[in-house]
Amino acid sequence: MRSRRSQGVPVKDDDIAARAPSPHSQRDDGGALRVPAEAARASTRPPGARTAEETRSGVRNRGAGGTTIELDVGPHYALHTLMGETAYGQAYRASQLEGRREDVALHVLPIEDERDARDLPLAFAKCAQLSHPHVIGLKAYGRAQPDGPYYLVTQALEGASLAALLDDEGTFDLLRALRLVRQIAQALRAAHTLHIMHGALSPANVRLVSGERSEDVRVVGFGCAAFRAPLSAPTTTSAGRISRPPRPYEAPELVSGAQPDVRTDVFALGSLLFRMLTGQVPVLRDGEPPPALLACAVQPVPPELDALVAGCLARDPDARIGDTVVLIGKLREIEDAERGIDARDGISGESLLPPEREGQPDQVPTSVEAGRDDADDHATDDPDDHSMMGGNRTSMVWIAAGLLLALFALWLLWEANTRS
């Protein structure tokens, strides 16, 4: 039997999602924001003067302290701190200076060739339709100056990144991992219904927000392949094979230049679950089956979950689980079984899981903001309220019928007395 370490490669997820430094601010070893000397000298330049680097990037420092960064897009947004790298690019915590004046995240797209930006409007229009409680939705896109970088604006990146939590905690307990992965799968299902793939799902693109009862997932980066140039192009070997170094959580077919589809997102989801339960990123080796969860997990896991993860990590896309609805259902069954709940009739207790409404697609909104408001409404709906409302509605019908009969009887008595 191979050792656990040979089955997977332990890595720090913050190393995967490298926190690239801002052009004007960096953090010292103590986590404090410091400003390079060049940025500090910016205040001595004439008003409006810009360095060659600032002109190229479209980013400039403002303020005597140099702690606030602004994209040169007029009065629209102010950038505050660099949050890290997402599937869209470098993400900044930002404020909207017009309209609703809300906190947002601004992602600077790594697009350098104008040809890569030609499909940006169509890609945005498609991905902006995606509205779901577990998705960080798109709000706007634009460009900083005619020759500056392109950017995307999304809802704020609230909570902590899954990458940071995994680096701090190592692994998650089984029920927590199942619950989080099921929510990610529900976000994937909503996107796949609109033919939107993620293509770069990783812990860096998942945020965890504390909810009323437990943690809630928010996934960022859907449709990222359409918004950024390839991170690294495949190369041709001497044998004529196309290859490049694989990235963690990446399906093997993407290495040879295949386009993302449902199965590539399923592979990434299985890799995430494997990482949560083992502390390792699964690595597929030529001629070998996927690493076994049972052999690598640091805690007992049911055989059904081992088989499920193997179905997600199959090297051949056709051998993989190809439907997120099936995946969500199996995750729910395993989670119910771990809670000691009979998933068929609930004899042993009441399930703590909500119904599978989040796995169903929302209606396509008529506008981005309207769709996002609908998603917030779905997130706060209590399904039990609907059953209570149904019972109350029936009772009200019977009460109204009784009142009508009583009024009719009184009218008959009045008619009899009038005639007499």
- 122 and 180 fall within a common domain: no
- 142 and 285 fall within a common domain: no
| CATH number, domain containing residue 45 | 3.30.200.20
pTM: 0.67
- 114 and 218 fall within a common domain: no
From CA 326, how far away is CA 324, in angstroms rounded? 5
Answer whether residue 380 is part of any domain.
no
Answer whether residue 405 is part of any domain.
no
Answer whether residue 5 is part of any domain.
no
CB-based burial of residue 107 (10 Å sphere; 0-12 exposed, 13-18 middle, 19+ buried)? buried
- 226 and 321 fall within a common domain: yes
| CATH number, domain containing residue 327 | 1.10.510.10
Helix (H, G, I), strand (E, B) or coil at 73: strand
Lookup: tokens for 93 = 């915590």
From CA 236, how far away is CA 250, in angstroms rounded? 19
Q: Quick count: other Cβ atoms within 10 Å of Cβ 146?
A: 6
From CA 161, how far away is CA 415, in angstroms rounded? 76
CB-based burial of residue 16 (10 Å sphere; 0-12 exposed, 13-18 middle, 19+ buried)? middle
From CA 418, how far away is CA 420, in angstroms rounded? 5
Answer whether residue 393 is part of any domain.
no
Answer whether residue 71 is part of any domain.
yes
- 106 and 191 fall within a common domain: no
Q: Quick count: other Cβ atoms within 10 Å of Cβ 20?
A: 11
Using alpha carbons, select from 153, 229, 223 the residue that is nearest to residue 188.
223
Lookup: tokens for 171 = 């692994």
Using alpha carbons, select from 19, 25, 28 the residue that is nearest to residue 65.
25
pLDDT of residue 73: 58
- 151 and 236 fall within a common domain: no
From CA 95, how far away is CA 158, in angstroms rounded? 13
Specify the number of domains making up the chain.
Answer: 2
Contact 236, 229 (CB under 8 A): no
- 206 and 347 fall within a common domain: yes
pLDDT of residue 331: 96
DSSP string, 81-122: EEEEEETTEEEEEEEE-STT--EEEEEE----SGGGGTTHHH
Pairing of strands 77-86, 89-96: antiparallel
Domain C-terminal end among 117, 136, 155: 155
- Rounded to whole angstroms, the maximal C-alpha distance in the chain is 113
pLDDT of residue 133: 95
Answer whether residue 420 is part of any domain.
no
Q: Which domain holds residue 248?
A: 160-359
- 100 and 207 fall within a common domain: no
To which residue do tokens 């720090």 refer? 12
- 130 and 167 fall within a common domain: no
From CA 244, how far away is CA 256, in angstroms rounded? 7
- 54 and 169 fall within a common domain: no
- 204 and 346 fall within a common domain: yes
pLDDT of residue 397: 74
Answer whether residue 413 is part of any domain.
no
Contact 61, 24 (CB under 8 A): yes
Domain C-terminal end among 121, 155, 189: 155
Pairing of strands 33-34, 206-210: unpaired
Domain C-terminal end among 110, 130, 155: 155
**Could you report the average pLDDT of every consecutive run of 10 residues in the chain (420 residues)?**
44 42 38 34 36 38 42 73 91 87 91 81 93 95 83 94 96 96 97 95 95 87 79 49 75 87 96 96 86 92 96 95 94 94 46 42 36 41 40 69 84 77
- 182 and 289 fall within a common domain: yes
Answer whether residue 408 is part of any domain.
no
Residue type at 365?
Answer: P
